[in-house]
Structure 1
Amino acid sequence: MRHLLDLCKRRGFLFQSAEIHGGLRGAYDYGPLGVELKRNVSQEWWNSMVYGRSDVVGIDTAIITPPAVLKTSGHVDQFTDEMVDSRLSMDRFRPDKAPALKMDDRNRIPITAPDKDTAKKWEHLIRTQFAKGAIITRSGKEIQLQVDRLEKDRIVLAKDPASDNNAMPASDSSTLNIPYNGYVDPNSNSPFLTESRPFNLMFKTYLDPIDPTDKIITATLEAQQTSSDLTATRQLVDKTLYPSLTYLRPETAQGVFINYMTVQRSHPHLRIPFGIAQIGKSFRNEIRLEHAIFRTPEFEQMELEYFVAPWQAEEQFTSWRKSRIDWWKTYARNHDHIRERPHAQDELAHYSKGCVDVEYLFPWGWGEVEGIANRSDFDLDKHAEATGIKLQYTDAVLMQERQKREKETGQKETRVEVLDRERYTPHVVESSCGLNRAMLALMLDAMVVVDEDGQEVPFNIEDEGEDSKSSSNRKGLRTVMKLHPRLAPIKVAVMPLVSNNSDLVAICTDITNHLRQELTVNVALEMQSTTIGKRYYRMDEIGTPWCITVDYDTPKDGSVTLRQRDTGEQKRVPISEVLTLVQNGLRIRPRGLNRLQEELTAQASIKE
C-alpha cells in the first residue's frame, strides 16, 4: 500500500487535498493520470451496464436532497453506525470493524502509542485514572498491562502488591476490572474505551440566505427564557432550521427511485425488467477514514437499480451476481483476489431478500468493492406511501390480451393471480459499486515489481529470510502497472529515439495526432530528454500498454518499433498497421489473451 501511494503521488495519480494548507483528512485530489484512470473505470462500467444493453438507461440526479426523501427511505432515523472513543488516543471508530484484544505470550496487553512521549502520558493516565494499582510496565512506546484473567464481559488486571501500601480506599480496587465488549482500539490495542453510541452518517446543509448560526443563537436564547431543559432547546432549534434543512445525499439510489415514474413515462418502450443506472458523488460523515481512498467522506458510486416483476427477483438477482463477478474478472489479473461473500441473515436489512458483496483482497484483508442486493419493493412502496403517488408498473401487453379475451368470451377476468401480473409494484435488484474503491483495487491488482529479467518479485521479499537480498539492494527492480489496456490512463506513448531531432519529432507528432483522432483515447507525445529505456520504464510504471518509437530508419522504411508493456517485447511494424494493432489490443476480451501479441507473432511468421 505504501509502495502504491508513493507511486500515485510521484507520478500524478493521487494527491492529498489542500496539501499546501496542511491537508484535509480523508480528502484526495486526482491528478492528470488519476482522473484518466477513474474516468476509464467508470466508462467501462457504463459501457457494460448501459451501452451494452437495450434495457438500461442512465440518469443523473441532484446531490442536495430534501429531508422528506431521506426520511421516507429511513436514512434520517436509521442511517447510523455505532461509535466508540478511545480514552487514551481519543480516536473514534466503529466497534463492528474493530479487532479483538491481543495479548502477548506473557499474558500481557501491549498498548502501542505513536511515540515515547505519548506512551509516558498514556501510562500516567492508566496509573492515575483507568487502572489504579494494576501491574504496568513500559518499554519505549509500548505499555504492557499484566492480565489476571479474561472473562466474558471484562478484563481482570493483575494487581500490583505495592499498591496496597498507598492506603487506597477499597472502592478503588474496582479499577482493576475493565469492561470488555469483544473489541479494542484498532490502532493501539487499548481496551480503555467509552460506551458505544449511535452516530448519523449524513451531512446536513441549509438552503437559506440567512446564516443558520444566527437562527440557532436566536432560537436558543428564546428557549432559555422559558426553560433550561436542553432537550426542549434542541427541539426548538431543529424546528427553526427545518424549513431550510437539506442533506448531501448518502447514496445515489434514492434519486433513481423518486424518478422511477418519470423515467417510465418518458421512455414507454422500457418494459419490465429494465434498469436505471447512475454514476455520481455521495457523502457520508464516516467515523473512521482509512486506507487512502478506500473510505472517505466524499466518494463516487456506480449504481444500477434493475426493476423486475416480483416473481423474477430471485432469478435476476442470481443473474446479476454472475454478470458483476464476470465484469471484475475481465479487468483484474488476480482472480484469486476476488470473491463473493453472501451476507448472513443477521447482516441483511429488514427489507432485503438477499445480498452479496464482491470483495477484493487488499493488503489489510478482504474489503467490499461492490454489493448486489435484492431490495424487494421496499423503496418504491415507501415513497408511494409518503407521497400518495402509485409507483407501479402496468403491463400494457398483458392488459390488452386480457381485454381481448374478455371481449371474445364475454366473461370478466376475476382471478387475482392474473390481474396481479398486469399491475404491481416492481421489486429491485441493485448493483452498487464504489468507483474510488474499484480504482484502488484495480491499481493494487495491476501493480507488480519486476527484476532486470522482467520476472515478478514479491513485495515482501525482504522478509523471506536472511539469505534473500532485500528489494532495496537488488539491482534492476522496477514497478510495472499491468492495467487492462482499456483502463490505462495513457493508451499509447509515441516517442522519438532522439528528442532534439526535428524530423523524428515531426513524424511522432503526425502519428500522435492520427491515433488521437481515430481512437479518441489519451495518446502521449513523450519528449523527455533521457534514454529510450528510461522512457519505456516510466510508461510501464504508469500502465501505458504500448510505446511507439520513431528512429532513424523510420523515414526510410516507414516502420516504427512497437513495444508491449507486459512482456517488454519489441516488434518492427509499418506505421500504417499501428492503428489496427492498437485497436485490436483495446477490444474487450478475457484477461490473459493477448490479441496484440498474437497479431505481432502472426505478422512475423508471415514475413519469415
Structure 2
Amino acid sequence: MAQIRTLLDLCRRRGFLYQSAEIYGGLRGAYDYGPLGVEMKKNILNSWWQRNVYSRDDVVGIDTSILTPHPVLKASGHVDEFTDLLVDCTLTKERFRPDKAPQVTLDKNGHLPITAPDKETAQQWKKSIDEQFAPNVKVTVEGKRLLLHVDHVVEPVKGHAGKIVFKMNNEQAAFELNYHGYVEPNTNSPFLTDSRPFNLMFKTFLDPIDPIDRVIQTTMNQAGESKPTVREEVDKVLKPSTVYLRPETAQGVFVNFEQVVRTMKTKPPFGIAQVGKSFRNEIRLEHGIFRTPEFEQLELEYFVAPWESRHFYKYWREQRYKWWLEHATHPENFRQRDHESDEMAHYATGCTDVEYLYPWGWGEVEGVAHRGNYDLTQHIKNTGANFEIVDEKPSISPDVEGEIDLIPKETPARYIPHVVESSCGLNRAMLAYLCDAFHQVEEGKGKPVRNVLKLHPRLAPIKCAVMPLTGKEEFIPLTKKVAKSLRRMGWYTVVESQKLKIGKRYYRHDEIGTPWCVTVDYQSLEDDTVTIRDRDTGHQERVHWKQVQTFIGDKLMEPEDDDI
C-alpha cells in the first residue's frame, strides 16, 4: 500500500489529480483532474471510442441526459432493486457494505484487536464498550489498540447468525455478540447494526415551485398519522417533480433505441456507444478514484437477435479483454472473472468482469453482461413503445454459433432484441493504468529512487517534450518548428526550456510518462538533425527534424484487428 500512496502523491504533485475544493477542506470522494489527468482520461476515452465506434461499421454513438425521470428508472428496476446492504458500526460510527467486509481477526493469543486512530480514541472506545456495548467484558488497552478477550467464535451457518463469546471480568455469564461473518473493515470492530437496504441513486427535484413547501404542508395535514403514512404522502407529493442523477448511462440508450433504428436505418446486430457521467450514492468511498460518487462510464449496448446472443456475448468478452491487454505494461495483472449466479445483476443472464490486480487486491474495471431483452421489454410494458424488430428472412450468419431452436418458425420473424453490454469505468481505467505503469528505478547506492510512469504512448498525457539544449536564443527557432510539426497532428507537445540540465529534464518527463523527448543541440544547428530519447529504454536516435513526426506517428498507430 506504500506504493499506491507514493503514486497518488505523484498524481497530486504533478497535476493528474487534485482534491476537489481543497482550499475549503475538500469534499470526500470528489476529485478534480488536473492538466495531465484530463489528458490521460481523454486519451483512454479516445482509444475506446476509436476501437468500438470508428473502427467498425455496426456501432453508432449517442449522448443522453444525465437527469433521468422517475418512470424510466422505475421501469428499469433501479428504483426498487438498485440497492446495497448497509451496516453501521455502533462503536466507530463507520458505515460499510457487508459483502466487502472481512471476517473477524483474532491475534495469536485469541484476543480480538480493535485498532483506534489514536490513544485518546482507544480510551473513549473502551469506556463505550464497558458502559454500553459489552459491560464487564475483559478488555486490555495497549496504546491505540483494544484487545477484547474472546472465549470462542461460533461461525454463521446458512443464513443463521453465529456468535462471538467473550470472557468476563467476574463470575458473570459469558457475553455473546451476534456475528454475521464480517466486522468493520478499518478497525476489526464487531459491534454492528443489522444490515438494511440502501438505494444508491441520487435524487433531486425538477420543479419551478419549491417542493419542500408542499412537504411541510403535507406533513402538517397528516398530523397524528404514523410516520410511514406521512412518508408515503410526502413521496406522493414529490413524485411528479422527482428526477435522478442517472446511475448508469445505459437507460438513455434503451429509451432511444427506436429512434436510433429509425434515423440510422439499421437493425441488429448493431451497437450504440455512449460516454458520460454517472452517479451513485456509494456507502463506502475508497482508494482514491477507484470508488467515487461521481464517475464516467464508457458503455456499449450491442443489440442482437435472441438466437445470436450467446455468440456475441462470447465475442465481446474476447474483444474487450484484448483492448485492456494492448495498453498494459504488465498484462499478467489483468484477468477475466465470470460471475457466480448469486452475484449477477437482476437483469443479467451472464456477466464477466475484467479485473486488475491493484495494490490492495483484485478490483473490477469493466463488466461484459448478457442483459437479455429485460430492459427493452420493461420499457415496452411501461410505455407501449415499439421496440420490436421485424426480420423478413431470419437466419444465422455463417460465422455465428447460434441457437437454431430460437429462430421463429413464422415469417416475417418478430422479436425483441437481446443486449450484450460492455461497461467500463473511465476513472478506474485511469487508476489501473497508472498503477500498471508506475515503476521505481534504483539509481545506485546513495541515490534516491526515481519514479517512472511507463504508460502506453497512446495513453500518455504528453506525447513529446521538445528541449533546447540550453536557453540560448539560437536554439529557439528549430525548437518551435519541431513542436509545431507535432502539434499539427493533434499530439499534446510541450517545450521544456527550463534552466535545468538535460538529464534532469528527461527525468521529469519520465515521471509523468512522456514517451519521447526531442533535444535540439549544437549539431542540430549544423545539419537539422535532432535526438529522440525513448523513455523506457533510454535509447537515443538521431533523425532529421522533419522525420520526428513520422517516427512518433508510427509508434502511435492503432493495431489492425482482423476480428473487427
TM-score by length of 2: 0.94
Match of 1:390 in 2: 386
Match of 2:215 in 1: 216
Q: Give the letter aligned to residue 187 of structure 2.
A: S
How far did residue 49 of structure 1 move? 0.6
SS of alignment partner, residue 182 of structure 1: coil
How far did residue 396 of structure 1 move? 4.7
Match of 1:510 in 2: 481
How far did residue 589 of structure 1 move? 4.2
How far did residue 580 of structure 1 move? 0.9
Match of 2:31 in 1: 28
Q: Give the letter aligned to residue 419 of structure 1.
A: E
Gaps of 5+ in 2: 156-161, 396-405
SS of alignment partner, residue 522 of structure 2: coil
CA spacing shift, 1:66–1:211, aligned 2, 3 Å: same
Measure, in 2, the Cα distance between the counterparts of 1:4 and 1:143: 32
Match of 2:537 in 1: 567
Match of 1:310 in 2: 306
Measure, in 1, the Cα distance between the counterparts of 2:222 and 2:503: 74
CA spacing shift, 1:587–1:193, aligned 2, 3 Å: same
Match of 2:552 in 1: 582
Q: How does 1:79-90 map to 2 (within 5 A)?
A: 79-90=82-93
Measure, in 2, the Cα distance between the counterparts of 1:398 and 1:48: 29
Q: Give the letter aligned to residue 313 of structure 1.
A: S
Match of 1:475 in 2: 447
What's the CA shift string for 1:206-246, capped at 9, x where partnerless?
Answer: 1112223222222211211xx23111111111111111110
1:110 counterpart (92, 113, 116): 113
1:143 counterpart (132, 143, 146): 146
Measure, in 2, the Cα distance between the counterparts of 1:277 and 1:362: 27
Measure, in 2, the Cα distance between the counterparts of 1:474 and 1:45: 43
SS of alignment partner, residue 216 of structure 1: helix
1:520 paired to 2:520: no
How far did residue 474 of structure 1 move? 4.8
Q: How does 1:331-370 map to 2 (within 5 A)?
A: 331-370=327-366
1:496 counterpart (465, 468, 480): 468
Match of 1:553 in 2: 523
Q: Give the letter aligned to residue 534 of structure 1.
A: K
CA spacing shift, 1:106–1:474, aligned 2, 3 Å: farther
Q: How does 1:378-457 map to 2 (within 5 A)?
A: 378-396=374-392, 417-419=408-410, 422-452=413-443
SS of alignment partner, residue 244 of structure 2: strand
SS of alignment partner, residue 287 of structure 1: coil
Q: Give the letter aligned to residue 73 of structure 1.
A: S
Measure, in 2, the Cα distance between the counterparts of 1:38 and 1:212: 38
Q: How does 1:245-324 map to 2 (within 5 A)?
A: 245-268=242-265, 270-324=266-320
Once superposed, which parts of structure 1, at least 4 consecutive aligned residues long, lie more than 3 Å away?
396-399
Measure, in 1, the Cα distance between the counterparts of 2:545 and 2:408: 66
Measure, in 1, the Cα distance between the counterparts of 2:278 and 2:367: 16
Structure in which a larger fraction of residues adopt helix: 1
1:154 paired to 2:145: no
Measure, in 2, the Cα distance between the counterparts of 1:326 and 1:522: 26
Measure, in 1, the Cα distance between the counterparts of 2:498 and 2:100: 47
Measure, in 1, the Cα distance between the counterparts of 2:93 and 2:407: 60
Measure, in 2, the Cα distance between the counterparts of 1:208 and 1:446: 47
Measure, in 2, the Cα distance between the counterparts of 1:181 and 1:253: 35
SS of alignment partner, residue 419 of structure 1: coil
CA spacing shift, 1:416–1:337, aligned 2, 3 Å: closer
Larger-gyration structure (1/2): 1
Q: Quick check: 2:393–2:412 contact (8 Å CA) kept in 1? A: no
What's the CA shift string for 1:96-130, capped at 9, x where partnerless?
Answer: 00000000000000000111111110011111111
How far did residue 436 of structure 1 move? 0.3
Measure, in 2, the Cα distance between the counterparts of 1:44 and 1:230: 52
CA spacing shift, 1:511–1:303, aligned 2, 3 Å: same
Measure, in 1, the Cα distance between the counterparts of 2:201 and 2:34: 28
Q: Quick check: 2:307–2:407 contact (8 Å CA) kept in 1? A: no
Q: Give the letter aligned to residue 100 of structure 1.
A: Q
Measure, in 1, the Cα distance between the counterparts of 2:504 and 2:95: 45
Q: Give the letter aligned to residue 52 of structure 2.
A: M
Q: Number of residue pairs matched?
A: 541
1:238 paired to 2:235: yes
Measure, in 1, the Cα distance between the counterparts of 2:302 and 2:111: 53
CA spacing shift, 1:567–1:421, aligned 2, 3 Å: farther
What's the CA shift string for 1:504-526, capped at 9, x where partnerless?
Answer: 12211121111101x21101111
CA spacing shift, 1:477–1:223, aligned 2, 3 Å: same
Q: Give the letter aligned to residue 265 of structure 1.
A: R
Mean CA deviation greater in 430-439 or 203-212: 203-212
Measure, in 2, the Cα distance between the counterparts of 1:276 and 1:342: 24
Match of 2:191 in 1: 192
Q: Give the letter aligned to residue 518 of structure 2.
A: I
Measure, in 2, the Cα distance between the counterparts of 1:285 and 1:53: 35
Measure, in 2, the Cα distance between the counterparts of 1:416 and 1:497: 69
Measure, in 1, the Cα distance between the counterparts of 2:346 and 2:548: 56
TM-score by length of 1: 0.87
How far did residue 420 of structure 1 move? 6.4
SS of alignment partner, residue 296 of structure 1: coil
What's the CA shift string for 1:511-548, capped at 9, x where partnerless?
Answer: 1111101x211011112221111110011110000000
Q: Give the letter aligned to residue 557 of structure 2.
A: R
Gaps of 5+ in 1: 165-169, 400-414, 454-472, 591-608
Measure, in 2, the Cα distance between the counterparts of 1:507 and 1:15: 35
How far did residue 333 of structure 1 move? 1.2
Q: Quick check: 2:87–2:97 contact (8 Å CA) kept in 1? A: yes
Measure, in 1, the Cα distance between the counterparts of 2:152 and 2:408: 63
Measure, in 2, the Cα distance between the counterparts of 1:233 and 1:70: 24
